[in-house]
Amino acid sequence: MSLLDVRDLRVSYGSADGDVHAVDGVSLSIEAGEFVGLAGESGCGKTTMAMAIPQLLPRNARITSGSVTFDGVDLSALDEHAMRAYRWKEISVVFQGALNALNPVQTIGSQIAEPIRVHDSSVTSAQADDRMRELLEAVGIPSRRAHDFPHQFSGGMRQRVMIAMALACRPRLVIADEPITALDVMTQAQIIDLLQSLSDRYNLAMLLISHDLSVLAQTCDRVAVMYAGKMAETGPSQDVFGESSGQVLARHPYTQRLLRAYPNIHRERVFIDGIPGSPPDLSKPQKGCRFQPRCDVALTQCANVAPELVALNDRHFAACHLLDADSSGVQ
């Protein structure tokens, strides 16, 4: 049994122009201790899918169908009171933008110790303080700085504080939503190294959301690529983002175009190639493949028939009519 099993999840946002179907039938599983990356353009449903797991969606969003099973329990069936037993203690979140997520008038030490005290009644204040100091040291911040305020830290250090907070109650799954966006390249590398070492040390499973494919390729065991609320391709990182004899191994045209839109420092220098057009308006009914208007290898049926996710091997899946002939449907 997987630690997390998201099945056929659908999430919609209510708006004045009608419902926006941001996540439309997405499935994803994560094993204990596994590092899974979630990629795709802005607005493809990555964050909505991830925030549906701990039920931290905005007020105008609702899960319309599907299930989110964590360690055998269907979280989507739980009410707000029951969900509190899972947030922080089982599943925690590293939000993007640490400056906005931290309380500017509270010391970082008290912000890390607070969830420990609130969510674990067996822990004394002294024990919570000890754990807070241990976490600060684990993320590379000297514990003597526990009494400092967020504005006294750099952006990278604040992100480390956010990671320490996420680990405060020893969760089994951490959802990291663009944890390195807006940081310089050196700090990005340090934060990624930190997440990997903490994952190994605490046997954490991690869902890492990023639009930066190089970060996901470098850090994740498995990756999933979303497009317009659907899963386009998922598989081991080396199968989805790797190359063989100079050819990319990605099988979905969208993943292939995403990879061409990123510079590769291991290859000769070429102009990066953007993807013309923009994703579809998800408040309108969708027909056929959602990538069809931007796909330069589209087939006749692509405009009318939505492709199913098919198995390319036992761990690599993609949803594209080009693959129908040599694969078997899985959904």
Q: Which residues bind ligand SF4 (CB under 6 A)?
A: 253-254, 289, 291-292, 295, 297-299, 302, 307, 320-322
Give the DSSP letter of residue 306: P
Q: How far apart are CA 59 and CA 74, in angstroms?
A: 21
What length is written for the chain?
Answer: 331
Cβ atoms of 196 and 218 within 8 Å: the answer is no
Residue with Cβ nearer ligand SF4 (292 or 327): 292
Output the smallest distance, CB 244 to ligand SF4, in A: 21
Residue with Cβ nearer ligand SF4 (150 or 307): 307
Q: How far apart are CA 180 and CA 306, in angstroms?
A: 34
Q: How far apart are CA 154 and CA 161, in angstroms?
A: 11
Q: CA-CA distances (angstroms) from residue 162 to 94, 109, 143, 254, 279?
A: 6, 11, 15, 33, 32
What is the torsional sign of CA 69, 70, 75, 78?
positive
> Furthest-apart CA pair in the chain: how many Å?
67
Q: What are phi and psi of 49, to 5 degrees?
A: -60, -45
Q: CA-CA distances (angstroms) from residue 158 to 45, 132, 308?
A: 26, 15, 42
Output the smallest distance, CB 253 to ligand SF4, in A: 4
Residue with Cβ nearer ligand SF4 (87 or 252): 252
Output the smallest distance, CB 111 to ligand SF4, in A: 45
Output the smallest distance, CB 171 to ligand SF4, in A: 36
Residue with Cβ nearer ligand SF4 (118 or 275): 275
Residue with Cβ nearer ligand SF4 (213 or 250): 250
Output the smallest distance, CB 261 to ligand SF4, in A: 15
Output the smallest distance, CB 324 to ligand SF4, in A: 9
Residue with Cβ nearer ligand SF4 (198 or 302): 302
